[in-house]
Amino acid sequence: MESELRVVATAGHVDHGKSSLIIQLTGIDPDRFEEEKRRGLTIDLGYAWCTLPSGREIGFVDVPGHERFVRNMLAGVGPVRLVLFVVAADEGWKPQSEEHLQIIDVLGVSGGVVALTKRDLVDRETLATATAEVRERLEGTALEDARIVPVSSTTGEGIDEIRAALDAMLEAAPGPQESRARLFVDRVFTIKGAGTVVTGTLDGRCLVVGDEVELYPTGQRARIRSLQTHKKAEERACPISRVAANVVGAEREELERGDVLGVPGEWRPTTVFEAKLRPVRGLGHPIGSRGAYKVYAGAAEADAHIQLLQGTKLEPGGEVFVRIRVSRPIVLDVFDRFVLRDSGRRETVGGGVVLDVAPPRARDDAPLRLAARASARRDELPRLLAAERGAVRAAEAALLTGSMGNGVPRVGGWLVREDVSSSVARAITEWLAGFHAEHPLEEGAPLALAREIVTSALRASGGPTQSNLVDSLLDGLASAGTVVRTASTIRLASHRVALEAASEDIARLVAAVGGEHESAPPTVKELLAQGFQREVIDAASRAGVVVRVGPDLVFTPGFVARAEAVARNATKEGISVSVFRERLGTSRKYALPVLEWLDGRGVTRRQGDLRFPRA
């Protein structure tokens, strides 16, 4: 179900014939909807559509009013901005023609057609002058190469040429790229019996009846009960199209224009973002950090405060990176376009492209960071984000860039900058090598210490230090076969306890607990008192040279094997501690812990004073 629909915004001075042209093209009166809307008959405000000669479907958003125009250009047409620019041949270029062109120019367009309307009202000479004037005005702007088509909505002259020009524009325009579903809400109302309805332009991905959705920024959850595109009920609505969605679970009062309807958890509204800002052409004054501004993004508008990240003011003709704080949380995506108006002067002063929706606190490296983003593709953003932060959770990266970051090295749930993971690996292997050299008889190093080493390596390389990242990195080294970790220790995979390094000590230990001492060996405490090192006793126990029966007792393996044999050979009547002690030739002091040890290992079962061998 590939939708070939494209949405085009109309632009141009009031009364220059925009709506009349749309009626000629589509047979639908976009202004009539205003009236119908007032009477509650329609939900598609200022919207008309038709099929072009090529078979492509084309939709027009034609809503009167200047603010509306800005919103049409931003949210109304979606990310592929196409424009039908209208200038009346009899009146020529007007202030609103200029202002609309300025906005189109700072936003950039994917295609445009200029209709020189009211052709029937002018003679050839005036038409030629008007055409030349318009061509001159368009020079150096985003519409520089647009076709200029003379047309009359009264006589129908030129309408076929307009259709052909629109077809050529669609042919040349890039297709929308699949990303996260986003419906910019431009209207909210209630319909008797149905409940809350929102309308807007859908971008990114299809929505389906029955879907659970989140309303941003409030976080309210709702369900889509029904969908309409072009006044037809649909099971699914796909980008880019005008959509009316009837939602269950959200009240009209909880929603407002500028909100976004999307998939739960896919967006994080923001109040601060960074962007590249360009003043509109012909701006008579610089843009500074002190003014009061309004940002228009998507269908939202918000009071804004600007901070230049380069220089102290933005001169006309320039372009700078800025940080913008807005008065209310808005849903922004990297590469979104926005318009900036000066609230005091009440004029559009600039526009730009969003580059970072969650900028870091530090601003020192902003120009470098933003320049890298400005020239990146969306699927490169997660790698850039990981590069900026050292490491970032993959889920966080998806939320902040709209891309899954396929191809970026992953450690657990994290995207990690290569030098960060390599410096952590270096720090931990060097530290473990040192630890093993210093403690050749220890099986491994305490995991808690290893975590500290990783944490400080992360800090040194400028990465985050969350314990989840620390553990993910250690796990990553373990799955790579570099280290082996247990619940409480970690060692280099290559590390072997070097008993030979302590062979003399171990031989002395075996002598101390074996031979004539075998059935009554010194306790560990006594061994320590005799000068044996705890490390040696531990290593010998781990290696099986001696057997640790309790915290304070070690025996020779031979003694323990005999004890086990005695226990296993007990009759069905069981064996008492004293019989066991006699048969083993030891004292009660040793017999009891040995029996408990055998119980613990499942060799024997205790019942009262007796032990029974287990099967």
Stretch that binds ligand GDP, among 115-123, 175-183, 281-289, 345-353 (CB under 6 A): 115-123
In the set 34, 120, 133, 564, which binds ligand GDP (CB under 6 A)?
120
Residue 63 or 244 having the CB closest to ligand GDP: 63
Stretch that binds ligand GDP, among 36-44, 118-126, 238-246, 283-291 (CB under 6 A): 118-126
Stretch that binds ligand GDP, among 113-121, 177-185, 389-397, 428-436 (CB under 6 A): 113-121
Site membership for ligand GDP, residue 270 (CB under 6 A): no
Residue 63 or 474 having the CB closest to ligand GDP: 63
Q: Shortest distance, CB of residue 360 to Mg ion, whole angstroms? A: 45
* Residue carrying the six token digits 């749930």: 413
Residue 152's binding partner among ligand GDP, Mg ion, none (Cβ under 5 to 8 angstroms by kind) is ligand GDP
Residue 118 or 323 having the CB closest to ligand GDP: 118
Q: Shortest distance, CB of residue 120 to ligand GDP, whole angstroms? A: 5
Residue 176's binding partner among ligand GDP, Mg ion, none (Cβ under 5 to 8 angstroms by kind) is none
Site membership for ligand GDP, residue 118 (CB under 6 A): yes
Residue 22 or 207 having the CB closest to ligand GDP: 22
Q: How far is CA 564 from CA 545, 560, 573, 596, 612, in A?
A: 17, 6, 17, 12, 12
Residue 19 or 228 having the CB closest to Mg ion: 19
In the set 50, 94, 121, 141, which binds ligand GDP (CB under 6 A)?
121
Site membership for Mg ion, residue 19 (CB under 5 A): yes
Stretch that binds Mg ion, among 11-19, 184-192, 308-316, 352-360 (CB under 5 A): 11-19
Residue 21 or 309 having the CB closest to Mg ion: 21
Kind of pairing, strands 6-12 and 82-88? parallel
Q: Any residues with CB less than 8 A from the CB of 464 and at least 6 apart, and which?
A: 389, 390, 391, 392, 458
Q: How many CA atoms lie within 13 A of 518 on its CB side?
A: 13
| Residue 114 near residue 87 (C-beta atoms within 8 A) | yes
Site membership for ligand GDP, residue 100 (CB under 6 A): no
Site membership for ligand GDP, residue 72 (CB under 6 A): no
Residue 12 or 262 having the CB closest to ligand GDP: 12
Stretch that binds ligand GDP, among 12-20, 318-326, 493-501, 589-597 (CB under 6 A): 12-20
Site track 61-90 with Mg ion (rule: CB under 5 A), x = hit: ---x--------------------------
- Strands (E) across 143-259 are located at 147-150, 182-191, 195-203, 207-208, 212-216, 220-229, 232-234, 236-237, 241-248
Number of H helices, E strands in the chain: 18, 34
Site membership for Mg ion, residue 24 (CB under 5 A): no
Site membership for ligand GDP, residue 153 (CB under 6 A): yes
Least Cα distance to 146 among 93, 105, 98, 99 occurs for 105
| Residue 509 near residue 540 (C-beta atoms within 8 A) | yes
Q: Shortest distance, CB of residue 85 to ligand GDP, whole angstroms? A: 11
Residue 66 or 268 having the CB closest to ligand GDP: 66
The Cα 144–Cα 117 span in angstroms is 18
Positive or negative CA dihedral for 417, 419, 424, 429? positive
Residue 16 or 562 having the CB closest to Mg ion: 16
Burial call 304-329: b when 16+ CB within 10 Å, e when fewer: bbbebbeeeebebeeebbbbbebeeb
Kind of pairing, strands 6-12 and 57-61? parallel
Site membership for ligand GDP, residue 220 (CB under 6 A): no
Q: Shortest distance, CB of residue 8 to Mg ion, whole angstroms? A: 15
Residue 20 or 26 having the CB closest to ligand GDP: 20
Site track 486-515 with Mg ion (rule: CB under 5 A), x = hit: ------------------------------
| Residue 394 near residue 382 (C-beta atoms within 8 A) | yes
Distance of alpha carbon 234 from the chain centroid:
30
Q: Is 267 left (phi over 0), alpha (psi -120 to 50) or beta?
A: beta
Q: Shortest distance, CB of residue 24 to ligand GDP, whole angstroms? A: 8
Q: What is the DSSP string of 113-135?
A: EEEEE-GGGS-HHHHHHHHHHHH
**Which residue is closest to ligand GDP by CB?**
17
Q: What is the DSSP string of 181-199?
A: -EEEEEEEEEETTTEEEEE
Q: Shortest distance, CB of residue 65 to ligand GDP, whole angstroms? A: 10
Q: What is the three-class DSSP state of 266?
A: coil
Site membership for ligand GDP, residue 15 (CB under 6 A): yes
Residue 518's binding partner among Mg ion, ligand GDP, none (Cβ under 5 to 8 angstroms by kind) is none
Residue 398 structure tokens: 């998806």
Least Cα distance to 400 among 299, 221, 272 occurs for 272
Helices (H), 139-279: 159-172
Q: Any residues with CB less than 8 A from the CB of 123 and at least 6 apart, and which?
A: none
Stretch that binds ligand GDP, among 68-76, 147-155, 265-273, 381-389 (CB under 6 A): 147-155
Residue 17's binding partner among ligand GDP, Mg ion, none (Cβ under 5 to 8 angstroms by kind) is ligand GDP
Residue 42 or 465 having the CB closest to ligand GDP: 42
Stretch that binds Mg ion, among 12-20, 303-311, 482-490, 594-602 (CB under 5 A): 12-20
How many chain residues touch ligand GDP (CB under 6 A)?
14
Kind of pairing, strands 82-88 and 47-51? unpaired
| Residue 375 near residue 317 (C-beta atoms within 8 A) | no
Site track 17-56 with ligand GDP (rule: CB under 6 A), x = hit: xxxx------------------------------------
The Cα 118–Cα 155 span in angstroms is 9
Burial class (CB within 10 angstroms; exposed 0-12, middle 13-18, buried 19+) of 432: buried
Site membership for ligand GDP, residue 14 (CB under 6 A): yes
The Cα 299–Cα 256 span in angstroms is 10
Q: How many CA atoms lie within 13 A of 368 on its CB side?
A: 6
Site membership for ligand GDP, residue 159 (CB under 6 A): no
Burial class (CB within 10 angstroms; exposed 0-12, middle 13-18, buried 19+) of 66: middle
**Which positions touch ligand GDP (CB under 6 A)?**
14-20, 117-118, 120-121, 152-154
**Which positions touch Mg ion (CB under 5 A)?**
18-19, 64
